[in-house]
Amino acid sequence: MMRPCFAVDIDNVLGRAEPEVQRLFQELTGTLWPVGLYGSAGGLDASQLAPELLEEIFSRFHQESIPRLPLFPGAKQALTLIHRRYRIIIVTARRPYSRPQTLRWLERHGLPFDELYHTEEKTDIPESITAAIDDHPQHIQAYRALDRQVFVMDQPWNRAIPHADVIRVSGWDALVQWLHVRRLSHWPKHIPESPSFRQAFSSQYKFPSLTVAGGPTASAQL
C-alpha cells in the first residue's frame, strides 16, 4: 500500500530565497531594495517594476542563485522524520530549466524526497496529496480547495491568510512538534533536536494555532 503524500515547497519553505532576490535587485539596479516590497509569492509580479528588470531577476535567480540558498534550520531533520510516514514530493514553481540545479541542491543538503515537480499548478500533479506546506497564498488556497491538511510556513507575505483550516508554523521544528503532539499513527515517538530546537521552543514560544483570513496573490515565480 502506497504511503500518503506530503507536498513540500522549496523557496522560503526549505531554502531561504528572499534575501537572494533582493540581492539581485540591488546588483542590477544599484539601488536599495524598496521598503515594503517582497520579491517572493508574486510580490515582484504585482509590483510596478519594469518587466525587463523582473525577467532579469527571475532569470538570474534560476540560473545562478539556487546553489547558494541556505537551508532553513531543522528542515533536514523534519523531512527525515516525515519521510518515515509519508512519501515526500517536492513541488516547486521554479522554471523547469532549473531542475538540474534544484536536484543538486536537494541532494547536497541530503534531503529525502520521492519526486520533484516543477509547476505553477501544484494541485494538478499525478499524486494523491494528503498534506502540504507552502508559503504562497495562491498555492495554499489551491491545496485548501482540495480539502487537504495545509501548513503555512510563516512569512510576511502570507500573514493575511485567514482560514481556520490551515496550520501556521514558525519553522520546521514547530511543524514536527505539531505532528508529534497530534500523535498520528506510526509517527516516531523520539524527535531528535535540530540546532534551533531549544531556541524555537523557549518559554516565550507560543504553540502554532489554527488561523484565519486572506486571498490569492499574483502569479508564483518562486
pTM of the model as a whole: 0.81
What is the per-residue pLDDT for 207? 30
Give me the residue spans of the domains in the chain: 5-15+70-200, 18-68
What is the per-residue pLDDT for 201? 31
What is the per-residue pLDDT for 222? 63
* Segments of the chain with pLDDT less than 50: 184-220
What is the per-residue pLDDT for 202? 32
Of 140, 153, 129, the residue nearest 75 (C-alpha): 153
What is the per-residue pLDDT for 211? 28
- What is the chain's length? 222
| CA-only gyration radius of the chain, Å | 17
C-alpha cell at 51: 518587466
Q: Distance between CA atoms of 60 and 66, rounded to whole angstroms?
A: 9
What is the fold, at CATH topology level, of the domain defined by 5-15+70-200? Rossmann fold (3.40.50)
